[in-house]
Amino acid sequence: MGRDRAKTFADRLPRVVPKEESDISSLSDEMADILYPGRRPKPFRMGVIFDAFGGPNYPRALAVAKRSPVYRDIGAGTTLRHRAEFEAGEAENMRELYDIVGPISTTDVLVDGRSVPYSRELWLPLFWLFLKGGV
């Protein structure tokens, strides 16, 4: 019998860098999904994206949004928007934020990072069931 032949030239080269990192805890969720899809389970999150607005509730809304582990600003100046997502254990924070920014017409509700139909009417009440004592 003959030797097994390498399928590609790259298979013949010695390994300099391992194909996979053993510890990916330092990578962000987004980067881990790109480099190693499905390797790290992603938690289910509900979120909101809201515009900067005037009034006394804006600093409070910003403080609650910054409690999110994945809070970020989008844009700058007059197009500044804030994005905050919360896991089920943080449903109380999500509800507090939504009570402030929900009435604003430009507020978007996200389900697992995406805008989906009935997110305000169906998904938010289901998410709030995780609150202590129910809705």
Q: What pTM, to 2 d.p., does this model score?
A: 0.69
Per-residue CA distances from 115 to 3, 30, 58 (Å): 54, 17, 23
Q: Residues near 67 by Cβ (< 8 Å), separated by ≥ 6? A: 84, 86, 90, 93
pLDDT of residue 17: 60
DSSP letter at 119 equals: I
Q: Residue 70: which of 85, 82, 89 has the closest Cα?
A: 85
- pLDDT at residue 91 in the model: 87
Listed residue (9, 5, 37, 6) closest to 24, CA to CA: 37
**Within 13 Å and on the Cβ side, how many CA atoms surround 51?**
11
pLDDT at 1: 53
The pLDDT averaged over each successive group of 10 residues in the chain (135 residues) is 66 67 74 78 87 90 93 87 91 92 92 89 84 54
What sign results for the dihedral spanned by CA atoms 124, 90, 129, 131? negative
Residue-level pLDDT at 21: 66
